[in-house]
Amino acid sequence: MSTRTQVGIVGAGPAGLMLGHLLHREGIDTVILEARSREYVGARIRAGVVEQGIADILIETGAGERLGREGLVHQGIALQFDGERHRVPLSDLADGRTIVIYGQTELVKDLIGLRLETGRPLHFEADDVSVHDLETDRPLIRYRHEGRDRQLECDVVAGCDGFHGVCRPSIPTGVLSEFSREYSFGWLGILAAVAPSSDELVYAHHEHGFALLSLRSPELSRLYIQCRPDEDPAGWPDDRIWEALQTRLGLEGWTLAEGPILEKGVTGMRSYVCEPMRHGRLFLAGDAAHIVPPTGAKGLNLALHDVCVLAAALTDWLRSGDAAALDAYSDTCLRRVWRAEHFSWWMTQMLHRAEDHDPFDLKLQLSQLRYVTSSDAAATTLAENYVGLETV
Ligand code: APR
Ligand code: PHB
């Protein structure tokens, strides 16, 4: 069975779904193919911090109705080290800009709802997806759906299929330059049914390793502890998790409230960028093209930024044949990507205990943390990157 569309989108994460949403608003036809089931995609617990600029775009384009209602607006975060907690007043330092706490899982559910309302195709459980003829003006996606082999002829293909997707590996060897860094640690994340013990996020440096207190709602806490990258969550019974969190986040005169753990998972840490984010008629966006360690809370924001740039560029090109923005897509995105790569790496190395860590590293970390929490210039650097730099 063969069908045609203007933009074939592989992957229904935030990047693929938002691209479909933005293009639909411009009257451009898309088909979205997702390997997993709708239930699986809507249940995966992921990031939770949205930059104000990105939240504004979601709201302006009609995808942020629930985010606007239920998202929690934050104006600061805390950095904790040496037994003290220091507030970084993000909004005071970054022109009043804020962050919005709203789960990626919820955003994905909202975007799926919007897509289904349009009646345009979003095929879950698409098997054996492969992309072909990328160097021609009729790229092709082949897949299996509901037991039948299908093929989708496109003007362009958008590879929004995450880090482990099929689009990036379909680009011939030698075309892409790849840049990466592995870290000797990961995060064990939990979702707990307990009111967050702090109104703002707390990033804690501790001799046992990093910990982070975050939240999803007034009743749901999201917490992370540094662990080994290959750690089996089964080795972390609930008591052990709370004990580690109490040690690393503990502070005189403050208590971390505990509650039932609803979800538990280990996230690896990696920095990765491929350049360019395009090959012929294939455009990569989001995690398919770049990964950041989660310490800077940038992954979701970068993915959404990429597709805003891509949607505008595709609209120009499909409407009027003007390819200037499309030709600039990769360079435009990579400037912001590399800023976020640096910021995420910098936050990560300042806060974690690396495997090969020595006393010199510890002294440098503590000095950097003291500087960031005492100098307005240094705190502003953190703040403007955290809330999101528009242009660099
Ligand atoms: N065919 C179809 N879909 C696929 C395939 C495939 N071969 N491989 C992967 N996918 C799907 C995945 O199941 C997933 O739903 O592509 C989607 C990619 O979504 P994400 O991994 O969420 O990536 P992205 O949309 O770029 O969003 C980035 O997700 O990992 C977090 O921290 C990251 O917050 C950031 C965000
Ligand atoms: C989260 O709430 O999941 C979260 C918050 C901040 C981060 C990473 C993840 O840096």
Q: pLDDT per position in the chain (392 positions), as tens? A: 899 999 999 999 999 999 999 999 999 999 999 999 999 999 999 999 999 999 999 999 999 999 999 999 999 999 999 999 999 999 999 999 999 999 999 999 999 999 999 999 999 999 999 999 999 999 999 999 999 999 999 999 999 999 999 999 999 999 999 999 999 999 999 999 999 999 999 999 999 999 999 999 999 999 999 999 999 999 999 999 999 999 999 999 999 999 999 999 999 999 999 999 999 999 999 999 999 999 999 999 999 999 999 999 999 999 999 999 999 999 999 999 999 999 999 999 999 999 889 999 999 999 999 999 999 999 999 999 999 987 65
Decide if 29 contacts 141 (C-beta within 8 A). Answer: no
- Phi, psi angle pair for 278, to nearest 5°: -155, 145
What are 201's two structure tokens? 């996020």
Rounded distance, CA 247 to CA 197, Å? Answer: 15
Rounded distance, CA 348 to CA 271, Å? Answer: 10
- Active-site position among 205, 206, 294, 329: 294
Q: Does the pTM exceed 0.85?
A: yes
Tell me, in angstroms, the distance from the centre of ligand 2 to residue 186's CA: 13
Q: Ligand 2, from 46, 222, 386: best to mutate by most atoms within 8 Å of Cβ?
A: 222
Task: Name the residue among 96, 99, 87, 101 with its Cα closest to residue 379.
Answer: 87
> Does any ligand 1 atom lie closer than 6 A to the CB of residue 286?
yes
Determine whether 81 is exposed, middle or buried from the number of CB atoms within 10 Å of its CB (0-12, 13-18, 19+). Answer: buried
Ligand 2 atom closest to Cα of residue 203? 10
Decide if 71 contacts 102 (C-beta within 8 A). Answer: yes
Q: What is the pLDDT of residue 1?
A: 86
> Does any ligand 1 atom lie closer than 6 A to the CB of residue 35?
yes
Rounded distance, CA 204 to CA 249, Å? Answer: 6
> Does any ligand 2 atom lie closer than 6 A to the CB of residue 295?
yes
> Does any ligand 1 atom lie closer than 6 A to the CB of residue 129?
yes
Tell me, in angstroms, the distance from the centre of ligand 1 to residue 237's CA: 29
- Active-site position among 203, 205, 279, 293: 203
74 is catalytic: yes
294 is catalytic: yes
Q: What is the pLDDT of residue 391?
A: 62
Tell me, in angstroms, the distance from the centre of ligand 1 to residue 224's CA: 21
> Does any ligand 2 atom lie closer than 6 A to the CB of residue 226?
no
Decide if 379 contacts 93 (C-beta within 8 A). Answer: yes
Q: What is the DSSP letter of 217?
A: E
Decide if 297 contacts 386 (C-beta within 8 A). Answer: yes
Q: What is the pLDDT of residue 392?
A: 54
Tell me, in angstroms, the distance from the centre of ligand 2 to residue 220's CA: 13
Q: Ligand 2, from 46, 77, 198, 212: best to mutate by most atoms within 8 Å of Cβ?
A: 212
Q: What is the pLDDT of residue 129?
A: 98
